[in-house]
Amino acid sequence: MGEFFAEFLGTFLLIVLGNGVVANVNLDRTHSHGAGWIVITAGWGMAVFVAVFATQDISGAHLNPAVTLGLALSGLFGWAKVVPFVLAQMAGAMLGAFTVYFFFADHFRATRTPQVRKHCFCTAPAIRNYRNNFFSELVGTFILVLAVLLIHLPSLEIAGVESAKVGLGSLEALPVGLLVFAIGLSLGGTTGYAINPARDLGPRIVYSLLPFQEKDDPDWAYAWIPVLGPAAGAGVAVLVYLVMNSLA
C-alpha cells in the first residue's frame, strides 16, 4: 500500500502547490495578485519538483495517469497497478483542490469574478477550438512522457519490468520540475497545459461541488480535452520511443 499512498500524497502536494500558485496570482487581495504567467509556470515547476522529490523512492512519482499509462504501454509498468495508481492520483488531486479552497477561502470570497475562481481549479482554453485544444494537450504530454522514457529508460529491458518505481522519480526531481516549467513557458498559453488528467479532472469535480455564489459553469463540454489529450500524447510518446529503441 505504500506506493499507492505515495501516489496519493505526491499528487496532493502537486495540486496544493500548483493550483495554489494559480490562486495566489489570480485571486484578489493576495500579496502576489497579478504576478503573471512566469510566476505561475515557475510555481508549477517547483510543485512538480517537491512532489517528485517527496515520493520518487517509494512509487517512482508518476503523479499523472498519462505517465502511468505510458509506462504500462511501454511494458515498463505492470497493468495490474494502473487502476490503483490512477485512483490514488485522482483522490490526491481532489484533496489538494479542497485544501487550496480552504487555504484561500477569504480570497475566494473577495474575488467576485466567477471565471477567475474556476481557473484556480481547472484549465480552460484561451481560444476554444476543440481540435487545436486537443492537439495542444497531446503535444505537451508527448514531450513530458517521451522525456520520461528517453532520459532514463533506454537501459532497461522492455519485457518483464514490473517495478512501480519506474517513473518520473527515475529522472530525479529537479530535471522533472524544469521540464514542466519549460512546457508551461513555451506551450502552456493555449490551454493552461493540464498535461495530466488527474490534475484537471479531480479539481474540476471539486469545483462543481463547492458552494460558490455566482458560480461559473464547470465546463464539462471541455473536460474531455485535458483527459483524452494527455492520454493520446502518452500513446504517441510510447510509439516514438519504441521505434527509436528498435532502431538503436
User: What's the 3-state SS for 85-101?
Assistant: HHHHHHHHHHHHHHHHH
* Three-class DSSP category at 29: coil
Cell numbers 466567477: residue: 114
- The string of pLDDT tens digits covering residues 23-66 is 999 999 999 999 999 999 999 999 999 999 999 989 989 999 99
Q: Which is the CATH superfamily of the domain at 2-247?
A: Glycerol uptake facilitator protein. (1.20.1080.10)
Rounded Cα–Cα distance for residues 155 and 153 (Å)? 5
Rounded Cα–Cα distance for residues 150 and 144 (Å)? 10
Question: What is the number of residues in the chain?
Answer: 248
What the block records as the C-alpha cell of 227 is 483527459
Q: Which 8-state DSSP code applies to residue 172?
A: -
* 2 neighbors 28 (Cβ within 8 angstroms): no
* 192 neighbors 124 (Cβ within 8 angstroms): yes
Low-confidence residues of the chain: pLDDT under 70: 151-172, 248
Domain ranges for the chain, please list them.
2-247
Which residues have CB under 8 Å from 80's CB, separation 6+? none
Over pLDDT 70: what percentage of the chain?
91
Fill in the amino acid letter for 101. Y
Cell numbers 495517469: residue: 65
Residue 58: its pLDDT value, please?
92
Q: Please name which of 74, 51, 72 lies closest in space to residue 154, comparing C-alpha atoms.
A: 74
